[in-house]
Homo-oligomer: A and B are copies of this chain.
Amino acid sequence: MKVPASLRDQLLDHAEAMLEAGESEPGIRALARAAGVSAMAPYRHFADKAALLTAVAERGFATLAAELAAADASGSDAERLVAQGRAYVAFARARPALFRLMFARPTEGDPAPEKTRENAPAFAILADRVAALAGRDAADATLGCWAIVHGLATLALDSRVDAPPAQVSAVLALYVAGISRPT
C-alpha cells in the first residue's frame, strides 16, 4: 500500500537528510537530482528555494518542540527546566545545519518570543516552568533562560564552546538557583 510519497515530501525528506549529512544549504538542483527528477520540478511545489527551506525549517521547529516537551515531562519544576535546556542544546548539536537553518529563516511580523509562530508553543511551556520558579521578573527570567540555552547552542555550533550536557546543566542550574529566591 506504500504510495510513493509526493514529490513535495520527498524533497523535504532529502533536504532534511542532506542537512543532517552536513550540507549547510541543500540546493534545488541537488534535491531534484536526489529525487530523480528534473531541476525545475521542485518549482511545482515550492515558489522558490527559500520557500522550500522554510518548509524544512518548520518541520525542524516541530520536532524541536516535541523533544522539548518530552524533556519537560517529569521531575520538579527546576529539573524540568534544566532538562529542557539540555534537550535544546542537544538538538542543536545533533542537527547543527538544521538548527542554523531554522533560525536563519526570516520571520514575518514583529520580533517577540510569543508572537513568532514557530517558537510560540515551546516558549509557552518554558514560560510556565519559569513562572513556577521566579515570582517577580518572570518575564525577564524566561527570556534570560531562552537566551542562555540559545547562546550555548549557537556558540557550540560555531565551536566557540563545547557545551556537553553536563556543562549545560551546570550553567542552567546556576541560573535557576539565582532566579528562584524569595521576591
Contact = CB atoms under 8 A, between A and B. Distances in A.
B107 A158 contact: yes
Given A103-B158, A104-B158, A149-B151, A174 B140 contact: yes
Contact of A143 (B144, B171, B177, B179): B171
Contacts of A171: 140, 143-144, 147
Contacts of A167: 140, 143
A72 to B, nearest CB: 19
Interface stretch (A27-35, A46-54, A111-119): A111-119
Contact of A140 (B106, B137, B160, B170): B170
Interface of A: 103-104, 106-107, 110-113, 116, 119, 137, 140-141, 143-144, 146-152, 154-156, 158-162, 167, 170-172, 174-175, 177-179, 181
Shortest 8 CB-CB contacts between residues of A and residues of B: A178-B178, A151-B151, A147-B151, A111-B159, A150-B151, A144-B171, A103-B158, A147-B152
24 contacts: A103-B155, A107-B158, A107-B160, A111-B161, A111-B162, A116-B159, A119-B160, A137-B174, A140-B167, A140-B171, A143-B171, A144-B172, A144-B174, A146-B161, A147-B148, A147-B149, A147-B151, A147-B152, A147-B155, A151-B152, A151-B154, A175-B175, A177-B178, A178-B181
